[in-house]
Structure 1
């Protein structure tokens, strides 16, 4: 029964498929499982999750990146699900009233690009002005999916406190980013000419980070939701009950802003 319950931890939305547990696989593939045990040093009662795969007839960078994305997504979802399921058994997340209660984590090496299947092209995962790792410059055109960005998040006790990045300060790299996004030199000049020109004047390396003060207060106060520490929180439907917003917009206001509404 427990094995069947654990199967529910594998979300089909991640793109991964649960094959079976190790004991059942060992009956059909004893040599392979034996080698797996040897390499992983797995012991009795350990949870070993092996996620692999991808189209056997398609080894293109795009296909491999999509397979890797399924691995990361499913493994991340499983990690969160297991943490919640067994937190009581192992005493995880218990607060002792000491500095150990605050567990910080930096998340780095975000992917620079993500592939859009519908449009058949790469998009910026964050925005096109984040700098890639210098050692990944050579992959911008040959394998965009392997390019890592110099972006970072700081997380405290599972809550994202802030995000930031190092920005691009070289014109040639910025143009390569636009090229990787399928933007021609002419289009890039038309849309971002002022910015590309500004980079010609010796822009220094720069970056930054922005912290969410409301999230910091939420953690310090021991609140479960941001709504508990915001003076005028919105409802789950994004309605501000104090000023009764949002309200209908008149056609004149839409026209003034150049906005058209399609239903």
Structure 2
């Protein structure tokens, strides 16, 4: 008998729960030469479905590490990570990959677009991997929403930074994930463009009733989110957002 659910379980919709994120007692450590450094030391984080949250903390505190655990890219050394009611520790590596691909969207600071694919191909990339029959129409609709329909056939290197990030947002939403993670989504943009990108990302996730967790150093963002999760000394403390 296998000790994890079979791979098709990743196709099933997440279990109903009020929490989109539920991290309990999460420990993550890394070896640095002959020493071991504990980045997360029993961190807890609960985030209700439909919220927009900000994850803050000093550089090196472990914010990207936490996002990698939430997305299933990495696994904790102790504790549990549940996303949309699914315990990632109960899944195999392949199942975690499928779950991430179908239920989690990711927006990166440096866009991470595939340079050899057009804008439209980047947006529909994950849909094509899953053989979605409506990949083309869904990509076109999202490009309309981010006001880039006229650049569908362009390659990423022909776009500005703000345009590339709009493509990245469309790609993150293409498979209609329950949770969107954004790692410093405005960190490589000027203040005006960053504000426009933030407006777009927040609006599109709220309109869909989805959850958004952003890593940020921009204190102004804290005034527009529902909850702030402050990471320090390996643990997470929740604060009220400014919204």
* TM-score where L is the length of structure 1: 0.27
More helix by share: 1
Which of the pair has more CA radius of gyration? 1
Structure with higher strand content: 2
* Structure having greater relative contact order (Cα 8 Å, sep ≥ 6): 2
